[in-house]
Copies of this chain bind each other. A is one copy, B any other.
Amino acid sequence: MSYNTFGHMFRVTTWGESHGPAIGCVVDGCPPRLPLSEADIQPWLDRRRPGQSKFTTQRQEADRVEILSGVFEGQTTGTPISLVIHNTDQRSRDYGDIAERYRPGHADVTYDRKYGIRDYRGGGRSSARETAMRVAAGAVARKVLGQGVRIRAALVQVGALKVDRTRWDWDLVGRNPLFCPDPVALAQWEELLAAIRKDGSSIGAVIEVVAEGVPAGLGAPIYGKLDSDLAMALMSINAVKGVEIGEGFAAAALTGEENADPMRMQDGTLRFASNHAGGILGGISTGQPVVARFAVKPTSSILTPVPSVTRSGENVEVMTKGRHDPCVGIRAVPVGEAMMACVLADHLLRHRGQVGG
């Protein structure tokens, strides 16, 4: 069972509610003797932290990660690594409204139907705050993968506005709060998001994650496929409604000729002429970049009132006031990278276990 655990050999168990005393995770199965300190994890958390631009929630979180176990004298010991972030922004306030009213598009109603109880403060367990621990675990996963594997993500679509791939600039991604690789799209998105924000509305987005340097051979048939584990991992991120690998849904419109990735030997090495497959064939990595994309829905927290019901069965209108995130897809960028890192680290250890090397 894996309610709150992710991975097989590189395992991450997360816990915590948005407004509880802390959130945390346990990373189990990490190889020993990897250099690790809070300083290796904190920068990745800082990238995800809200309040960094006017287009993400203004909630202020210090998000200082602490390592409580599994590291000794600056190195991993092979025992479980416990990471914790104390919640410092727990405003004492009246939650009465949220307690009773189901916010449309949120998990309020389903948690209540399943468990008959829910921690309604700030979304409780279903809050995007949980993704901070994914980012923390992803930082450990990057250590497992080593410097030969490079994982980067970018926002490639906001609303209907897609980036132009001929203008793709990875350096730009690191220099703008929207993780946009295209200067023209960046300007368009800023305009769009300003309007969305002004309206108290929200908008969806698509994120692309690319892992370069992934060795050939990771993954396994039939239910240990690298792409199916990626699909699971990315779909588990809050608000994600779709995942695709390589050409993805666009492959449906292609012919076999158009979708083919020809191979050739070059200087004794097998090379692919293209990467429609997204770096995975038959569930196993080819050695090409692994390319995944995922779609994030517009958050349901909007200023326009939406018909809803209360816990006790009354019809109401629900409008979300307060902190507001016009495009939750933006903050999903570092989370997508982290999930890619965790999946790859898990498969690296699984592959080494079965096949060696």
Contacts and interface: CB of A to CB of B under 8 A. Distances in A.
Instruction: Give the number of times this chain occurs in the complex, counting copies.
Output: 4
Given A29-B354, A350-B353, A354-B9, A3 B220 contact: yes
Residue from A28, A69, A118, A282 having most chain B Cβ neighbours under 10 A: A282
Contacts of A249: 206, 241-242, 244, 249, 295
Contacts of A77: 115, 117-119, 124-125
Given A1-B8, A307-B273, A263 B109 contact: yes
A78 interface: yes
Q: Which 5 A-B pairs have the closest CB atoms?
A: A107-B282, A353-B353, A242-B244, A110-B284, A202-B256
Contact of A256 (B102, B218, B241, B300): B300
A115 B69 contact: no
A282 B111 contact: yes
A281 B228 contact: no
Given A4-B224, A298-B251, A349-B353, A115 B32 contact: yes
Contacts of A218: 114
Nearest to A21: B68
Interface string A73-109: 0011111111000000000000000000010111101
B222 A264 contact: no
B126 A287 contact: no
A187 interface: no
A297 interface: yes
B252 A296 contact: yes
A8 B281 CA distance: 25
Interface stretch (A12-20, A46-54, A178-186): A12-20
Interface residues of A, number: 155
B255 A298 contact: yes
A254 B233 CA distance: 23
B6 A297 contact: no
B206 A307 contact: no
Contact of A260 (B104, B222, B235, B270): B104
Interface in A211-235: 216-225, 227-235
Nearest to A81: B15
A205 B315 CA distance: 42
Contacts of A16: 68-69, 80, 82
A149 interface: no
